[in-house]
């Protein structure tokens, strides 16, 4: 928790510092794409702030008011971040379309190239380090923060290319406008991706087939299990909550059934790192078939 919070704060500080430099330089050189890229850095600041708040709330366990815990507070935070990013991206696109095209003065182009290269190097370094820690901790928030830095480095790369193209072909007057719209497009794409993931989680959309198949494969490692009649998996703040109904020998005792459920729970949690809850119901072999037959009648 402390390490992830520290990394998010470091990312926030870097985004603010680099964003201010880009916006000021963009205003001085009249480079709209650089200004848009700087604004993109501030959207990351807002996103990271929401991540910090929701992470602190989301780690709380179940209580009398929230029986399933606070994990989905993080999901609501992600949805808010996506809304903010969409609004900013659309505002940047509108400004790029309606504002007059301006060429960057040759004297300023070298300075913009140097700043862009520095920003790309820092953002890429942040991406690699935060992503590595996020994967080690299986921390969805850190991984998302890492990818925001990767998106930033790509958008700054667009600014860099636009300045180089403008320098080589000064007669192409719309280079800056196109670059600005591309940067805004990256922001918009990232916002839509975050929003769709959050909505899927809020409506209990099933995770990937790979996850479902892996859970079933784990359960089938136990020879006592004769059939898996029910599998339900949902996402809570990036973590998984699993519900299973397995069938076993009708002659087994209640104690044996409880032990089997505990073993299955431990095996799933040990194999799939981001599982926070496993509920296993044990029924006698043939129970599912009987229920199906009864419903048909």
- Residue 181 sits in which domain range? 2-202
What pLDDT score does 9 carry?
Answer: 85
The domain boundary, picked from 149, 179, 202, lies at 202
Question: Which CATH number belongs to the domain containing residue 221 in this structure?
Answer: 3.30.70.1350
Of 92 and 35, the one with more pLDDT: 35
What pLDDT score does 84 carry?
Answer: 77
What pLDDT score does 125 carry?
Answer: 92
Tell me the percentage of the chain whose pLDDT exceeds 90. Answer: 3
Mark whether 189 and 68 lie in a shared domain: yes
Q: What is the mean pLDDT of residues 51-66?
A: 73
Mark whether 144 and 225 lie in a shared domain: no
The phi, psi pair for 163, rounded to 5°, reads -70, -40
Mark whether 127 and 248 lie in a shared domain: no
Rounded to two decimals, the pTM is: 0.65
The domain boundary, picked from 152, 171, 202, lies at 202
Interval 213-269: pLDDT, tens: 888 888 888 888 888 888 888 887 667 888 888 888 888 888 888 898 999 988 888
Mark whether 236 and 257 lie in a shared domain: yes
Of 60 and 104, the one with more pLDDT: 60
Number of domains in the chain: 2
78-87, 116-125, 288-297: the lowest-pLDDT one: 288-297
Mark whether 192 and 49 lie in a shared domain: yes
Question: Which CATH number belongs to the domain containing residue 193 in this structure?
Answer: 1.20.1510.10
Q: Check pLDDT > 70 for residue 295.
A: no
Q: Residue 212's Cα: distance from chain center in Å? A: 20
What's the whole-number average pLDDT of the chain?
Answer: 79
Mark whether 198 and 230 lie in a shared domain: no
| Closest CA relative to residue 143, chosen from 132, 155, 154, 156 | 132
**Please, which pLDDT band fits residue 288 given cuts at 50, 70 and 90?**
low
What pLDDT score does 140 carry?
Answer: 66
Retrieve residue 218's tokens: 């784990």
- Sequential DSSP letters for the chain: -HHHHHHHHHHHHHHHHHHHHHHHHHHHHT-HHHHHHHHHHHHHHHHHHHHHHHHHHHT----SS-TT-STHHHHHHHHHHHHHHHHHHHHHHHHHHHSPP-PPPHHHHHHHHHHHHHHHHHHHHHHHHHHHHHHHHT-HHHHHHHHHHHHHHHHHHHHHHHHHHHHH-TT-TTHHHHHHHHHHHHHHHHHHHHHHHHHHHHTT----HHHHHHHHHHHTTSTTEEEEEEEEEEEETTEEEEEEEEEE-TTS-HHHHHHHHHHHHHHHHHHSTTEEEEEEEEEETTHHHHHHHHHH-
Mark whether 196 and 237 lie in a shared domain: no
**Please, which pLDDT band fits residue 121 given cuts at 50, 70 and 90?**
very high
52-61, 177-186, 220-229: the lowest-pLDDT one: 52-61
Mark whether 141 and 279 lie in a shared domain: no
Task: Please say whether the beta carbons of 154 and 186 come within 8 A.
Answer: yes
Interval 147-174: pLDDT, tens: 778 878 877 887 888 788 777 777 666 6
Q: C-alpha angle with apex 95: 89 to 97, nearest 5 degrees?
A: 105
Task: Indicate the pairing of strand 239-248 with strand 225-236.
Answer: antiparallel
Mark whether 152 and 259 lie in a shared domain: no
What pLDDT score does 179 carry?
Answer: 73
The domain boundary, picked from 202, 225, 253, lies at 202
Mark whether 289 and 154 lie in a shared domain: no
Mark whether 47 and 93 lie in a shared domain: yes
Q: Check pLDDT > 90 for residue 27.
A: no
Mark whether 184 and 289 lie in a shared domain: no
């Amino acid at each position: 928790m402390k390490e992830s919070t520290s990394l998010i704060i470091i990312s926030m500080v870097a985004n603010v510092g680099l964003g201010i430099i880009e916006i000021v330089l963009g205003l001085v050189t009249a480079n709209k794409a650089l200004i848009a890229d700087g604004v993109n850095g501030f959207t990351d600041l807002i996103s990271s702030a929401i991540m910090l708040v929701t992470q602190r709330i989301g780690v709380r366990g179940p209580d009398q008011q929230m029986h399933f815990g606070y994990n989905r507070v993080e999901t609501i935070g992600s949805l808010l971040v996506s809304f903010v990013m969409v609004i900013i991206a659309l505002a940047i696109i509108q400004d790029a379309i309606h504002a007059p095209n301006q060429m960057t003065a040759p004297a300023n182009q070298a300075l913009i190239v140097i700043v862009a290269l520095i920003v790309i190097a820092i953002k890429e370094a942040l991406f690699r380090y935060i992503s590595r820690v996020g994967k080690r901790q299986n921390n969805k928030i850190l991984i998302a923060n890492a990818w925001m830095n990767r998106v930033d480095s790509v958008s700054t790369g667009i600014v860099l290319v636009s300045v180089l193209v403008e320098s080589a072909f000064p007669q192409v007057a719309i280079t800056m406008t196109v670059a600005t719209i591309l940067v805004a497009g990256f922001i918009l794409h990232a916002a839509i991706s975050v929003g769709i993931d959050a909505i899927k989680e809020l409506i209990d959309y099933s995770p990937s087939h790979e996850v479902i198949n892996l859970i079933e494969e784990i359960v089938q490692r136990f020879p006592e299990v004769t059939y898996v009649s029910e599998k339900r998996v949902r996402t809570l703040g990036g973590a998984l909550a699993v519900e299973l109904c397995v069938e076993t020998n009708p002659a087994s005792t209640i104690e044996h059934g409880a032990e089997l459920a505990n073993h299955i729970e431990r095996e799933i949690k040990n194999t799939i790192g981001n599982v926070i809850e496993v509920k296993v119901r044990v029924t006698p072999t043939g129970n599912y078939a009987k229920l199906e037959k009864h419903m048909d009648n």
